[in-house]
A and B are shown apart, each in its own frame.
Chain A
C-alpha cells in the first residue's frame, strides 16, 4: 500500500539555523508533492507544491527538493525564527495522503 512518512516527529533547532525536514514515500509515483504548515488548533496552510519534473522550488526562506529516484522530498527553512515553530506536513497528490507531520521548535 502507499505510504508517506515524515522521519522526525519533532525537531528542535536554534534561531538562525536551517531546519531540514524529510518526507519519504513508497509504492507510489506522485505527479506532485505539497508541504503545509499547521499551528495548534488550526487547519493546515498550504506552503509549496513541487512537481515530479522539478528538482527544487523556493519561496522566500523556504526551499523544497523532490527526488523521484530516492522517493524523497526535503523541506528547508533558512534563517529560522521562533515564529516558524509549528507542525509541518507533506502530502502526495490525489487521492491525497498526508504524512503525520514534524513538529518544529525554533529556540531563541
Chain B
C-alpha cells in the first residue's frame, strides 16, 4: 500500500545510546518532515527536507540529525539519547506544494530510560 512507513513501532533505549528511526515513502513526494508529539504539546517539527540533499531545522532540532540521500528515505538519528527525548515520533511527506496535506506514518513510540 502506498504511504509512509516508519520503523520500529516501539523502542526502549538507555540514556546515552544512539539509534536511527527509519522513514520511507513511495509516493515520490519531495517534502518530508519529522515531528515529536508529547502530551498537551501537539506535534512539534524537528527537521524537514524539501528534496534529496536538502534538509533544514524545525522548532526542536537539538539532539537529532537527519539526512536525505534519496527521495524515498528520511532517517532521523538520535545521537545520544536522553530521557527528555521520550516521545512519539511521526514522519510525514507531501508533494512540493502541500496542496493535499501531509501523509503521516503510524509513529514510533520511544522510551529512554
State whether B105 touches A100 (Cβ < 8 A): no
Task: Check A89 for interface membership: any CB of B closer than 8 A.
Answer: yes
Residues of chain A contacted by B101 (CB below 8 angstroms): 34, 36, 46-47, 49
A-B contact pairs, 10 of them (CB 8 A): A34-B101, A34-B102, A43-B105, A44-B43, A45-B104, A94-B98, A95-B48, A98-B35, A98-B42, A101-B42
Contact with A along B36-73 (1 / 0, CB 8 A): 00001111110010000000101100000000000000
A77 CB → nearest B CB, Å: 17
A-side interface mostly: loop
Q: Chain B residues in contact with chain A, CB under 8 A?
A: 4, 31, 33, 35, 40-45, 48, 56, 58-59, 90, 92, 98-107
Measured CB to CB, the nearest residue on chain A to B39 is: A100
The B-contacting residues of A in range 73-108, CB under 8 angstroms, are: 89, 91, 93-101
Contacts of B56 in A (CB 8 A): 95
The contact of B33 among A43, A89, A96, by CB within 8 Å, is A96
Interface string of A32-62 (1 = CB under 8 A from B): 1010100001111111010000000000000
B44 partner residues in chain A, CB cutoff 8 A: 98
Q: Could you tell me which A residues sit within 8 Å of B by CB distance?
A: 9, 32, 34, 36, 41-47, 49, 89, 91, 93-101
Most buried by A among B31, B45, B58: B45
In angstroms, Cα B22 to Cα A59, docked, is 34
Least CB separation from B50: chain A residue: A94
Are B98 and A99 in contact, CB atoms less than 8 angstroms apart?
no
Docked pose: A9 CA to B40 CA in angstroms = 8
